[in-house]
Amino acid sequence: MRVRTRFAPSPTGHLHIGNARTALFNWLFARRSNGDFILRIEDTDTERSLAEFERSHLADLKWLGLAWNEGPDTGGPKGPYRQSERLDTYLEYAQRLLTEGLAYRCYCTKERLEEVRKRQVAAGMPPRYDGRCRDIKSGSPAGVEPVLRFKVPERQIAFTDGVHGDVIFDSRSFGDFVIIGSDGVASYNFAVVIDDAMMEISHVIRGDDHISNTPRQILLFESLGFKTPSFSHLPLVLGGNRVPLSKRDSSFSVSALRAGGFLPSAIINTIARLGWSPGEGLTGLDELAGSFGIEKLSKSPSVFDMERLRFYNKTAISGADAGYLLNLIGLPADKEDMTAAVEAVKDNASTVVELKGLLSPFIGDVQYPEDALLVLNEPYAKEALKAFREEAENLDMLDDNAYKKIIEGVKKKTNESGKRLFLPIRLALTGERHGIELVNVLRLLGKEKVIERLKRFQP
C-alpha cells in the first residue's frame, strides 16, 4: 500500500502554528515512507472562506519547505483539490445512501431541534437528534427544505489510533447526523470521507479536536464500501495561557512570525518538538523525516514556547549565509562592506528584524532617539566624546590595538570609566544602547565615519 497523507486546511484564517505542525507531521510521514503528501482546501464554509487565506496558506507552506505532490495549484490525478469544486460528487454519494435506505430526509426546523437539545441537556443526556423523521415514508411540510441525515446504527465503533491506542465510541452518543444541509452543501464529516476515499488517503493525521468525528466517518466509510484509513490524532498545541491556539489569534500565525523576522528552519524545528523529541540542535527537513514516527509522538498537549523559537532562530541566523540574510532584509548582497557588517552582527540577532536594527548604524545615517540625546548632551558625555575623537585622529587604523589605546587615552583625559565612558561612545556611533562590541563598531564604520559622528556632539 502506498502511503498517502493529506493536509486539509479551511481557508477561514491564516495558517497558525498548530495547523503548521499537522502539515509538518503529515509531510514527514509521507517523506519517510516515500509516499505522497496531498494538499486539499476545505472551503465549503462559503461565508468565512476567502481566497486570500488560501493564497496565504499556500505561500506559508511553500516558505516552510513543505511542498506537496498534489494540490489545488499543481493539480493531480485525484482532483479537483478544493471541496467547493466537488459538490456534485458529494450529492451523488448522498443520493446513493438515500436510495439504499442508509440516509433520510429530515424536515425538522431549527427551533424544534434547539428545543430538543435543551430538554436533553437539562436531563443530563448528550444532545443528539431524536429520530423524528427517520421513518417518514411520504409527504413533507410545504416550503421546508430538508436536510439529509445519515441513519446511524446503534453499535460501538472501535479503532486503533496511532497516538492514543484503542478508542471506542458508542453511536448512541451522537445519533443520526446531517450529511447534506438544506442549502445542498455537504457537511464536513461527509465531504471529508468522500475526499479521503477518492484521493486514496492511507493515513489521516490530524488534531485531537477531530477525534470525536472519527466514529461518524468510520460509519460512512463502511456504508459506502470504502477502505477506512489509519487515524492518528495529535494532542492540541497550547499557548502560554494553556489555551489551544486559534487561527483567529494572528500573533501565532506563520505569516506573522515570518513578518517578525523568524526563519523557516527555526519554525520547523520549534513545531517539530511540539509533542515529539527528535533530538537537539537545528535539524533539516530530510533529517527530521528520517527519524519521524507516529509511535514516537506524545499523548499530552504541548505548549508553544516563544523562547525556544527565538533560540532556534538565533541559531539559524548565526549559521546563515550573509548574502541570504541581506536578501531577506532587502539590502545589496554584492558589497564587501555589507557582507562584513552582517558577519559581525548576526550572532547578536534573534530575529531578522533585530538583525536589520543591528545593521542600521552601518548602512545609513544614524538616528538618535530622544533618550540617547539626553545622555549625549550631558557635559561629561561631550568631554568623553571629544577625548575619544582626539585619540582616534592620531591613529591610522581603528583595529583592536587602536581601540585599546583610545580607551586608555580617554580614561586618562576624563577620569571616566564604566557606563559613563562607554555609553556615550556607543550612542554617538550607533544611536543604540546595546549592540555588538565597540571595537567591531569602529572597524565597520572606519576612521572617517567615527570622527564624523563624534563631531556632532562636541562642546
Please check whether residue 194 is in contact with residue 223, taking contact to mean a CB–CB distance below 8 angstroms. Answer: no
d(CA 35, CA 422): 59
Selecting among 78, 137, 247, 296, the annotated active-site residue is 247
Cell of 303: 505548549
Cell of 116: 430538543
Residues 6+ apart with CB under 8 A from 89: 194, 198
**Residues found in the chain:** 459
**DSSP states along 30-47:** HHHTT-EEEE-B----TT
Closest CA to 13 of 48, 65, 59: 48
Residue ranges of alpha helices (H) inside 320-418 are 322-328, 336-345, 352-363, 370-376, 379-393, 400-414
Q: Catalytic: 137? A: no
Long-range Cβ contacts of 327-330 (<8 Å, 24+ apart): 328/352, 329/355, 329/356, 329/359
Cell of 322: 550573509
**DSSP states along 87-153:** HHHHHHHHHHHHHTTSEEEE---HHHHHHHHHHHHHTTPPP----TTTT--S---TT-PPEEEE---
Task: Characterise 361 by phi-psi region: left (phi > 0), alpha (psi -120 to 50), beta (else).
Answer: alpha
Amino acid at 5: T
d(CA 198, CA 46): 23
Respond yes or no on whether the N-terminal peptide bond of residue 235 is cis (omega within 30° of 0).
Answer: no
Q: Please say whether the dihedral angle defined by the alpha carbons of residues 184, 217, 294 and 76, taken in this order, is positive or negative.
A: negative
Closest CA to 21 of 248, 352, 312, 254: 254
Amino acid at 415: N
d(CA 459, CA 456): 9
For the CA atoms of 295, 296, 298, 303, what is the dihedral angle to 10 degrees? Answer: -140
Three-class SS state of 335: coil
d(CA 151, CA 128): 13
Phi, psi torsion values for 21, nearest 5 degrees: -65, -40
Active site positions, annotated: 247
